[in-house]
Structure 1
Amino acid sequence: MARQLGCSHHTVKAYVAADGVKPFSRLSGQNGSTALRAGCARGSFGIAAMRMWCARTCCPRRGWRSAGERCSGRCSVTVRRRRPRRWRRRGSRRRRADSCRSTSASVWSRSAAPRSAFMFVATLGHSRRLHVRAFRAEKQEHWFGGLERAFTSFGGVPEEVLMDNPRALVVRHDAVSRSVQFNDKLIAFAKHWGFCPRACAPYRARTKGKTESGVGYVKKNAIAGHCFASWEAFEAHLGRWEREVANVRIHGTTGEAPTARFERDEAHRLKPLGGRAGFGSLRELTRIVGNDCAVEIDTNSYSVPWRLIGERVAVTVAAGEVRIRHGAREVAVHKQSQGRRLRVVDPAHLDGVAGRDGAVRRVQIGSPTLPTSSPPPSLLRPLAEYEAAIGGSF
């Protein structure tokens, strides 16, 4: 019974022994706030997720235990469940998005070691339809790319997007006043697609419990126990799992398949895409040209005319290109490198630099050859003349 209900076997024993529901009773002589504290794991409120711990005054051995389990020693506690505050929104007004770092999948190739994958999980609040994407990092362009792919997959844009508080999107979020300062690029991205960004409350996973549970479902059902020969095979597996498993299963909360619920209730409420082009991962950076006539961007080096060594330049990364400007003049354009620690060089930027065509070699200057017999010096006078001029000799 405990395995089927997902709770502790001590809880089942207690209810069987009581032959029914046990009435709530406060500990005699103890204040509830000092005798025990109850909480729930990751926004799930139920017997399996209920955890409690005894205070120092009640039990010197503090630790998390399942609901209904007795502490070793002298204390016995009873947990009173608190009804959680639930988020309820009309239709598909809100879509919750989250990203997590998953190490459950081992993505490898014959020439590379296993590496971690960052999973982007987007969930529609009403139908629970999922969209999953895998990235190699958790930068701002990856967040924007995941959101755009989700909009394309769903066929529309929701009114609100509830997200976590990553540094790439949220500059500051005060947990007390709940004032949020979003990144300027996120505000421009939201204006481009026509949705309202919202950040969940800090340290409160219940704010976006639908996405948190979806992330756990992806890690345990789609990734755990699998091994992939390449990154492309990993992405193909996620797309197939999303179409054939995640969105066609009978959801445990709604009792319906997410795809059927989406087509019936949500599809017509999303804002149409309207043929808008992608926002693009536009980045504007500032760099100082190094002594090697290059600027470094994402561990890669891009050449700049050598006359700008030591100067400050503006770099724009967009649409797979790296454009470098000095003042109002564009001085270099390169194709963005997809690798790491590579060097992209335009030979024209090195015109006039010593060693442009190879290592500088020292010219060997030979010593002049002296003739075997030199003519007698005609400009030298004999010493006798000098002696006569000074009036004698030493």
Structure 2
Amino acid sequence: MPTWAPGLVGRARRGSQPADAATRRAALSPGAEGRSAGDDALRDAPGRQLQIDFGERLVEIGGVKIKAFVFVATLGHSRLLHVRAFRAEKQEHWFAGLESAFAIFGGVPEEVLMDNPRALVVRHDAVSRLVQFNDRLIAFAKHWGFRPRACAPYRARTKGKTENGVGYVKKNAIAGHSFASWEAFEAHLVEWEREVANVRIHGTTGEAPIVRFARDEAHRLKPLCGQPSFGSLRELTRVVGHDCAVEIDTNGYSVPWRLIGERVAVTVAAGEVRIRHGMHQVAIHKQSDGRRLRIIDTAPISMVLLVAIARSAGLRSRRRS
């Protein structure tokens, strides 16, 4: 459960105020072609689906009207809502909004349903329902462990929870407000989300989203387990040099001697360099901020020395004989 949830749950129970791949890869999405009661029940199962969307709104900030792009994420079962404001609607903002939602909710749902934004969906055939997601979205989904789904073209009503959420944010959180700065606007959205949106009695469920989330959904989300941000993660391939090291950003990171000449996979994330050979992790180093340094794990070097000593001893033995 997110860190802010316990207090909200208590307040909600006491009574809340009612208110209104290498190359582009194709992936088949089951889509949202037509809705039945069974479909809705499945999508509304706890932890099953998160719906996301962006909306635009002119906001008065510092006496000037500027266009704000508001990201809204809504969990299908509890209707728990998360809002972020951005100055644009690019792919990086979709990813930042999703990661922010995962952090607030304390976990990741099974799938994320979206409309067909150009930043995320390359092509969606209305007849065959074949969806070609952007490569980076596929990588992002794999990184966080969810399935991306796209609404059927021209039928965004299948994503109604979030579309209603966008309208609710515009009317309830933004309309009639002005802010001294962008930071003040962001702080207002955080407070509104916590004190209004998620503790109100929801018109469809008849419960406060935070109560429904805490009871039914929080434990159904996949835990984050310290997963680093997708933006900070790099996946690399390197060949181990004769010096028992791989080079990353001009620095050499040691690898077991037996892998000299072998190709290894390198993950750089959260201040660590993790090196894998096949399915096995063979080295972990702290990432260095320096340049042209040698970051050494003494174990592999010791093995090299042992082999060198053994070979030297063998040569001396043969010479004596």
In the TM superposition, 1:62-101 aligns within 5 A as: 85-86=36-37, 87-89=40-42, 90-101=45-56
Report the CA distance between 1:255 and its aligned residue.
0.6
| 1:129 paired to 2:84 | no
Match of 1:273 in 2: 224
Q: Deviations over 1:330-385 (max 9, x none)?
A: xxxxxxxxxxxxxxxxxxxxxxxxxxxxxxxxxxxxxxxxxxxxxxxxxxxxxxxx
Q: Deviations over 1:294-329 (max 9, x none)?
A: xxxxxxxxxxxxxxxxxxxxxxxx99xxxxxxxxxx
* TM-score computed with the length of structure 2 as normaliser: 0.59
* TM-score computed with the length of structure 1 as normaliser: 0.49
Report the CA distance between 1:176 and its aligned residue.
1.4
In 2, distance between residues paired with 1:125 and 1:84? 14
The alignment partner of 2:99 has SS state of helix
| 1:239 paired to 2:190 | yes
Contact 1:118/1:134 (<8 A) preserved: yes
Match of 1:177 in 2: 128
Identity of aligned residues (%): 75
Q: Deviations over 1:272-298 (max 9, x none)?
A: 001011001789xxxxxxxxxxxxxxx
Match of 1:345 in 2: none
Match of 1:264 in 2: 215
Q: How many residues align?
A: 199
| 1:193 paired to 2:144 | yes
Match of 1:164 in 2: 115
The alignment partner of 2:47 has SS state of coil
Q: Point out the structure with the larger helix share.
A: 2
Residue 62 (structure 2) aligned to one of 90, 102, 109: 109
Contact 2:115/2:151 (<8 A) preserved: yes
Please tell me the residue identity of whatever aligns with 1:199: A
Alpha-carbon RMSD across the aligned residues, in angstroms, is 2.1
Contact 1:130/1:246 (<8 A) preserved: yes
Structure 2: runs of 5+ lacking an equivalent: 1-33, 235-267, 270-321
In 2, distance between residues paired with 1:204 and 1:185? 24
Please tell me the residue identity of whatever aligns with 2:47: S
Contact 1:141/1:281 (<8 A) preserved: no
> Over alpha carbons, which structure has the higher Rg?
1
Structure 1: runs of 5+ lacking an equivalent: 1-82, 284-317, 320-394
In the TM superposition, 1:194-233 aligns within 5 A as: 194-233=145-184
Runs of 4+ in 1 over 6 A off after TM superposition: none
In 1, distance between residues paired with 2:224 and 2:86? 24
The alignment partner of 1:251 has SS state of coil
